[in-house]
Structure 1
Amino acid sequence: MTEPSDRDIDVTVGPSGPGCAECLAGEGPGWWVHLRRCPACGHVGCCDSSPSQHASGHAEASGHPVLTSFEPGEDWFYDVRTGAFLDGPALAAPTAHPASQPVPGPAGAVPEDWRALVH
């Protein structure tokens, strides 16, 4: 694994919230499978398996090419330009959504047929 550049990560910036910013704002169906965090600005978005794929959309629109997991117990970084997993530093807390938040989430928004709707 390689390390991302300093411009791709700001260890002082916390996450934008406990869930996908766009889904929680009503953009798309409003639920996600897993969450990803932008280590450059803290944006939390939904993963590419989720219906709206907001994390990748943020990476493309913002020019912030590195994502990290926002799932409990995961600490990987991923460069969307190269498809490579990267080593990275410890980020500002919290480093994952609340453990009480279900996966997929958020609670009450996930349809019963969610498995048929993922990518």
Structure 2
Amino acid sequence: MTICEHLAQADDPPARTPEGCEECLATGSGWVHLRRCLACGHVGCCDSSPNKHATRHFQGVGHPVIESFEPGENWRWCFVHAQMA
């Protein structure tokens, strides 16, 4: 299987908040795992977290690809095509 165009063309911007989920830090909320948007560098919490900010970021602005922002993990996910690389 070939990877989708979103995964193939994903950028690598710096994390906007390397210390954690942008929204959770602002509200004092917690998270489980972190994801970084490969269009703008937004760092959001995963869908196992109470607020699911990474998915909400995609739903709000349409940036299609995130990657794990966890040490030792090396994967990317395209929301549009539900495909991992």
Query: Fold match, TM over 0.5?
Result: yes
The equivalent of 1:70 in structure 2 is: 69
Q: Once the two structures are superposed, what CA deviation does each residue of 1:73-106 show, in whole Å capped at 9, x if it has no partner?
A: 11100011221102xxxxxxxxxxxxxxxxxxxx
Mapped to 1, the partners of 2:8 and 2:59 lie a distance apart of 17
Mapped to 2, the partners of 1:10 and 1:2 lie a distance apart of 15
SS at structure 2 position matched to 1:82:
coil
Q: Within 5 A, what are the aligned runs for 1:26-65? A: 26=27, 30-65=29-64
Please report the TM-score for the alignment, with normalisation by the length of structure 1.
Answer: 0.63
The equivalent of 1:10 in structure 2 is: 11
Task: Give the % identical residues.
Answer: 49
Query: Runs of 4+ in structure 1 displaced over 2 angstroms?
Result: none
**The structure with more strand, counted as a fraction of residues:** 2
Please report the TM-score for the alignment, with normalisation by the length of structure 2.
Answer: 0.86
Structure 1 gap ranges (5+): 87-119
SS at structure 2 position matched to 1:24:
helix
